[in-house]
Amino acid sequence: MRKVEWTNGTEHWTKKGDIKLFLWEKRSTRPSVRKGTILFVHGSSMASQPTFDLHVPGRPFSSAMDWFAAQGYDTWTMDNEGYGRSDKHRPINSDISTGADDLVAGSEYILEKSNAGKLLIYGISSGALKAAMFAERHPERVARLALDAFVWTGEGSHTLNERKKKLPEFSARNRRPIDRAFVHSIFQRDHPGSADAATVEAFADAILTLDDSMPTGTYVDMCSRLPLVDPTRIKVPAIILRGEFDGIAAMDDLIKFFILLPNMDKQFSVMEGISHASFQQKNYMTVYHILHSFFTMPDNPYKG
């Protein structure tokens, strides 16, 4: 395994009670054109830096944090409890609600350090569930909310239907082992070929540098406790992003969720040629473009 290094960022630490949480910041490289502060929220099987600050030779702006910083955003991400560099000592499975609690502590720290009035929040997969739950609890901290690879009730989700077969195993322990073959499976299960081999290997290196196991809580929640969020209680502007080939985010389930969102400043975007891990796909620049467009939407003077 080659050594993975993250450069040109600043590490931060905050606490949730006695739990230490790791945060990573990359500031705008265009300070004269400040467009907002983004908090990226990772999913079930990888920590924050591999997901949002990945570097792959020959692949421009593999780091989403670098690309958005170049557009004028201050960018942040954090490791949820049980992941990456954050504390892992509590005997818990780090479920969705625990992750939303982490976002409360992390957002408080970011808002204090950055003087941002509100945050632009992006969450992927179980990270989207954490982000949505956080937006329910603390809408006053959220300027705009982006939910990628999201799942509401789980109806029609092929990946979750397969995962449920291992629910007794996940429920019996707080952590599950991961290895390189597991990381490969993320890209093989839905639509092989949507990500290139070099990116998948770099992603695996980055993940396995930090962790050899992951909490089971998000898997248990997504297999047995959905729905976890109520769309009618999400009052902030929101976008739903769905990869064309994503086996978790079933189209009909998402559309029903989208219809119930009460804020009419909302969008639904289907991303061509993309399966589950959006930022590691061949069409990753499409995701950046959609997010940038949504995050820079002007305030409408007329509300109806």
The strand order across the sheet containing 36-41 reads: 10-16, 19-26, 73-78, 36-41, 119-124, 142-148, 238-243, 266-271
pLDDT given for residue 248 in this prediction: 95
When pLDDT is averaged across residues 177-182 and rounded to a whole number, the result is 98
Amino acid letter at 5? E
Report residue 196 as tokens: 């290139």
Given pLDDT bands bounded at 50, 70 and 90, which one contains residue 3? low
Angle made by CA atoms 88, 90, 91, in degrees to the nearest 5: 110
Q: What is the pLDDT of residues 43-95, one digit of tens each?
A: 999 999 999 999 999 999 999 999 999 999 999 999 999 999 999 999 999 99
- How far apart are the C-alpha atoms of 246 and 158, rounded to whole Å? 9
Please, what are the domains in the chain? 10-295 (3.40.50.1820)
For residue 33, pLDDT over 90 is answered with no
Phi, psi of 195 (to 5 degrees): -130, 145
Cis peptide before 227 (omega within 30 of 0): yes
Q: In terms of Cα–Cα distance, which of 105, 108, 149 is closest to 125?
A: 149
Q: What's the mean per-residue pLDDT of the chain?
A: 96
CB 257, CB 240: distance < 8 Å: yes
Q: What is the pLDDT of residues 184-198, one digit of tens each?
A: 999 999 999 999 999
Q: What is the pLDDT of residues 95-147, one digit of tens each?
A: 999 999 999 999 999 999 998 999 999 999 999 999 999 999 999 999 999 99
Given pLDDT bands bounded at 50, 70 and 90, which one contains residue 7? confident
pTM for this entry? 0.97
Given pLDDT bands bounded at 50, 70 and 90, which one contains residue 159? very high
pLDDT given for residue 110 in this prediction: 98
For residue 231, pLDDT over 90 is answered with yes
User: What is the distance in angstroms between the CA of the first residue and the CA of the last residue of the chain?
Assistant: 57
Angle made by CA atoms 85, 8, 297, in degrees to the nearest 5: 90
pLDDT given for residue 4 in this prediction: 76
Report residue 200 as tokens: 């998948």
Q: What is the pLDDT of residues 235-287, one digit of tens each?
A: 999 999 999 999 999 999 999 999 999 999 999 999 999 999 999 999 999 99
For residue 2, pLDDT over 60 is answered with no
